[in-house]
Structure 1
Amino acid sequence: MPPTATLSPPAGPWRTEFSATMKLAWPLAAANLLQMLVHAVDVIFVARLGEQELAASSLAIALFGLILWGLSGLTGAVAPLIAAELGRRRHAVREVRRSVRMGLWLAVLVGALGMIACLGGERLMLLTGQDPKIAAMSGDFLQIIIWAMIPMVLSNVLRIFVSALDRPIFATMIIASAIGVSVLANWVLVFGNLGAPALGLEGSALASVFTSLFILAAYVAAIGWDRRLRRYRILGNWWRTEWGRMKDIIRIGTPIMFTIFAEAGLFSGAAFLMGRIGPSELAGHTIALQVAALAFQIPFGIGQAATIRVGYHFGAGDTAAIARAGWIALAIAVAFSMVTASIMLFAPLTVLSIYVDVNAAGNSAMVGFAVQYLLLAAIFQLVDAVQAVSAGNLRGLQDTRVPMVIAVFSYWAAGFSISIWLGLNSPLAGVGVWIGLAAGLLVAAILLTWRWAQRGRFGLV
């Protein structure tokens, strides 16, 4: 008899789904973290130019980044469509190619609109009361960095394609390589090394353009090199229009874009409230929010993976697998968030020392406020993870309109109103603003998770 007793039993469906989710999620989370480092490189180089240059670039990046993030959400609707097509397994190559092709078309079209919107950045900054000199410098910066808009949105579509086709590690490797490109480009262009002219602030913007082109070229090269990805011929017949598919992407993606604007607006509004409370509070808020944003990249990556895994089973019509994929992603995100929340709770000064000298006398007020805000950030790490993954689960079901309404209500009717009330009309001040942020995320987490749990009742599966 064959030695069957030595054979391992087949993995159960929950274990299999857990492995598949982790395999997809960790490279996406790593790529998100590395993308933040690419931005950090720009900040490090610009900060050496002076406070005015740093302020100008910060304002420009705030506008550019918000538009880019929103457009990436719009074109990100390609993810659930591709996943569903792969789940159905009917003419998957042709259908995936159509979705990617129209996603790339849309990326070019909306990227051009985003460039036009950024050209009004200087006027917008003047309207919001910014210093005219800073606004002018920021406007000059935007006129250069806008050329990175289309490559970045195109790269987002290609990142979704490689991830959905089980190659998420490509995204990690490409962004990791982009850090080196960004460092070199900034070193050469900002300070005029290797015989190049010293372009200062404009050099940093140009470095961002070169880095974005490198990322786009790297995705194209990786897709052409990999046998499985190459067979989809995503650039084949690129001139053919599929207006029905374009309509599907816009239908699913537009609510995602407005959801992103709603969430980003909440945190931008919180910064303005902090500015009214005091400069030390604003500085502490900025640092604490940077820490929270860095930690959020892990559940954000898990949410991206959840969209693909749930979307795959949605296309296959497997309701039991849909449930497994969604609940496993939520459990993983909560587990990771408990770790990051514990670090913020029990070692806040260690975390803050990454950004500032916590022992410097001049930083004492800022650090004191940042520690207070980190304690609240630790609490909303958990609810932020839950809302991010629940939203990702629903996107996998191609459900985005109601989640958009939930987001607007949660972040603005609940979150921002509490931030204003407690921040400006109570002794809590900055702590009150953060309580509002946590409240908005909590309401979103409850409502989105409830909708996910009741997906059958709402006819989503």
Structure 2
Amino acid sequence: MTPLSPYASHLRSLLVLGLPLIGGHLAQFAIQVTDTIMLGWYDVTALAALVLGSSFFYVLFLMGAGFGFAVMPLVAAELDNPDGETQIRRVTRMGIWLSMLVGLCSLVPLLLAEPILLAFGQEPALAGQAAVYLGIAGWGIVPALGVMVLKSYLAAMERVQVVLWVTILAAAMNAGMNYLLIFGKFGFPELGIRGAAIASVGVHVISLIGLVIYALRQFPEHELFVRLWRPDWSAFFQVFRLGWPIGLTNLSEVSLFAASAVMVGWLGTIPLAAHGIAIQLATATFLVHLGLSNAATIRAGRALGRRDGPNLRRGALVAVTASVLFAIVTIAIFLTWPEALMSLFLDPDDPSKPEIIAIGVGLVAIAALFQMADGGQVMAHGLLRGVQDTRVPLVISAVAYWLVGVLSGYVFGFVLGHGAMGVWSGLVLGLGVAVAALMWRFWRRALPRAVPAARPAAS
């Protein structure tokens, strides 16, 4: 056996888990893109209301999803434990409990969205339309968070193919239901933005039912839903302690990008359009890093459960290397074809196209640098979650994203007068500080503490 074979084994395992998870994230992204395109075809005002309403929805969803994400490393750590079935059941059930509680609490601001949006300075007509959307779509947050828990549970059980296919089917169902209900095709009523909201809820409910049936059939020994109503306070607080920092970390990252959009919006419509396209490009590539990060969480969690320090280190090194290599490829593409990438999102006859591309080319160049930093920070988060370290990473992220990222973006963009490129430079700086601190945290602090007396084991 050659010296490289352990690393090759880790790479194979990472890709077996990571590629379906990447596909699932891209399919989820396709759902959002489909909503945007179809309502854009229907009515521009409805599209603006959708963007506003769905942004509000996803802020609350990502906060609540922290408990779903927490289930992944907790389940993975028990896979190689002969008596782990009981603990897998306990933490998954309490992950469902916590997610349902957060979902029910989130219904209040979602169903009362109009005064909240007005308080944030939104136009009354736009706030009213967004509130109509959220009055229906808001009910989907409870099943959506349930889906997140079961996806994390099944991914940790290394049933990532079903996670991929359920998300692909959800994307197809969403497109079909949107077509029928937004435009009123084949005898269905023309409901516009209400149709998009109904489709969203329907997709979440059907996805949840499908995952529940699959889990019951494939893992009857876990008895996930037997006496689900009975509390298990020890497991409840175990999931809570790991999950709430993840939720707030998600919030801090989302708010960083929301703040950047607000700042670029101060510069005018053309810079904001260029910013939006560059963010779409960066998001699509980020999802690859996110899928690899999820796979790294599972692999690290399993190694932690075995107290297997050498393979935890090897697996982490392989995961980081894979993320870096993908970032290098993306950087080359972004720097070689920036105009072509920008043009994919623009009408050839749009008179503002040259101005948008002129600004966008610079943003795409910065987005190339952005790849290494953004991929690195999400990979560090994945590894830290795998060894169940989430509280200090929350503090690091909040400081890096807000005190460094937002503040420096404002200084570069407005005080020094570099405009949108200055704001994006602040994003890169904030993410760069985050990746440096988080990687140091994993390699120098979290990893030695997780397996201080580990023994070698097969990967």
TM range (shorter): over 0.9
Q: Residues 99, 278 of structure 1: CA spacing in aligned structure 2 closer, same or farther, 3 A cutoff?
A: same
Residue 182 (structure 2) aligns with: 190
> What aligned pairs does 1:393-404 form with structure 2 within 5 A after superposition?
393-404=383-394
Distance change >3 Å, CA 356–CA 341, structure 1 → 2: same
Report the 3-state secondary structure (helix = DSSP H, G, I; strand = E; otherwise coil) of the residue aligned with 1:48.
Answer: helix
Q: Which amino acid aligns with 1:273?
A: M
Superposition TM-score, scaled by structure 1 size: 0.94
Match of 2:402 among 386, 409, 412: 412
TM-score, scaled relative to structure 2: 0.95
- What is the one-letter code of the residue matched to 1:246? F
Is the contact made by 1:151 and 1:216 (CA closer than 8 Å) also made in structure 2?
yes
- The percentage of aligned residue pairs carrying the same residue is 32
Q: What's the counterpart of residue 110 of structure 1?
A: 102
The answer on 1:158 being equivalent to 2:153 is no
Give the Cα separation in 2 of the matches to 1:301 and 1:359.
37
Mapped to 1, the partners of 2:443 and 2:233 lie a distance apart of: 33
Range that drifts further, 166-175 or 336-345:
336-345
CA contact (8 A) 2:286 2:371 kept: yes
Task: Verify the 8 A CA contact 1:352 1:358 in the aligned structure 2.
Answer: no
Q: Per the alignment, in what secondary structure is the counterpart of residue 42 of structure 2?
A: coil
Q: 2:44 aligns with which of 42, 51, 57?
A: 51
CA–CA distance in 1 between the matches of 2:405 and 2:446?
A: 29
Pairing 1:30–2:20 present: no
* Residues 275-294 of structure 1 deviation map (CA, whole Å, 9 limit, x = unaligned): 11121111110111011011
In the TM superposition, 1:130-141 aligns within 5 A as 130-141=122-133
Instruction: Specify the alignment match of 1:148 in structure 2.
Output: 140
Give me the whole-angstrom Cα distance separating, in 2, the residues matched to 1:11 and 1:345: 33
User: How many Å separate the matches in 2 of 1:119 and 1:429?
Assistant: 37
Preserved contact between residue 349 and residue 358 of structure 1 (Cα < 8 Å): no
Is the contact between residue 390 and residue 448 of structure 1 (CA under 8 Å) also seen in structure 2?
Answer: yes
Q: What number of residue pairs does the alignment pair up?
A: 451
2:137 touches 2:197 (CA, 8 Å); kept in 1? yes
After superposition, the Cα gap between the structure-2 partners of 1:58 and 1:456, relative to the gap in structure 1 and judged at 3 Å, is: closer
Matches within 5 A, 1:125-274: 125-226=117-218, 229-274=219-264
SS of match in other structure, 2:449: coil
Question: Counterparts of 1:359 and 1:24 in 2: how far apart (Å)?
Answer: 43
Counterpart AA for 1:76: F
- Provide the C-alpha distance between the structure 2 equivalents of 1:230 and 1:335, rounded to a whole number of angstroms: 40
Taking only aligned residues, the RMSD between alpha carbons, in angstroms, comes to 1.7
Displacement after TM superposition at 1:359 (Å): 6.4
Distance 1:27 1:205, change over 3 A: same
Give unpaired runs (5+ residues) of structure 1. 1-7
Bigger shift: residues 299-308 or 10-19 = 10-19
Write out per-residue CA displacement over residues 35-66 of structure 1, whole angstroms, 9 at most, x where no aligned residue: 00011111111112222111111100111011
In the alignment, is the contact (CA less than 8 A) between 1:80 and 1:395 conserved in 2?
A: yes
- Listed as ranges, the gaps of 5+ residues in structure 2 are 452-459
> Which residue in 1 is equivalent to 2:454?
none
Quote the Cα distance in structure 1 between the aligned partners of 2:213 and 2:33: 26
1:21 maps to what in 2?
A: 14
Conserved in 1, the CA contact under 8 Å of 2:71 and 2:91?
A: yes
The answer for the alignment partner of 1:373 in structure 2 is 363
**Displacement of 1:457:** 7.9
Q: 1:96 aligns with which of 88, 91, 96?
A: 88
Answer yes or no: is the 8 Å Cα contact 1:145–1:208 preserved in 2.
yes
Q: Is the 8 A contact 1:78 1:103 kept in 2?
A: yes
Q: CA deviation at 1:125?
A: 1.8
Q: Structure 1 residue 385 and structure 2 residue 378: aligned? A: no
Check whether the contact 1:97–1:234 (CA below 8 A) recurs between aligned residues: yes
The question of whether the paired residues in 2 share the 8 Å contact of 1:79 and 1:161 is answered with yes
Aligned to 1:73: 66
The answer to whether the 8 A contact 1:74-1:253 is kept is: yes
Superposed, 1:303-318 pairs within 5 Å as: 303-318=293-308
DSSP 3-state at the match of 1:270: helix
Cα distance, 1:444 vs. partner? 0.3
Q: Secondary structure at the match of 1:236?
A: coil
CA positional deviation for 1:28? 0.6
1:282 matched to which residue of 2?
272
Report if the CA contact (8 A) 2:68-2:152 is conserved.
no
Deviations 1:7-28 (A, max 9, x none): x989833222221111111111
* Compared CA separation, residues 457 and 17, structure 1 to 2 (3 A): closer
* Residue 428 of structure 2: aligned partner: 438
Q: Which amino acid aligns with 1:191?
A: F
1:111 to partner: Cα distance? 0.8
Change (3 A) 1:457 1:75: closer
1:153-203 CA distance string (max 9 Å, x none): 101111111111111011111111112211111111111122221111111
Paired residue secondary structure (1:85): coil
Whether the 8 Å CA contact 1:358–1:364 is kept in 2: the answer is no
- Look up the SS of the partner of 2:202 in the other structure: helix
Distance 1:171 1:124 in 2: 35
Q: What's the CA shift string for 1:200-227, capped at 9, x where partnerless?
A: 111111111111112112212322343x
Distance 1:71 1:457 in 2: 27
Q: 1:456 to 1:171 in 2, by over 3 A?
A: closer
- Matches of 2:438 and 2:2 in 1, distance apart? 37
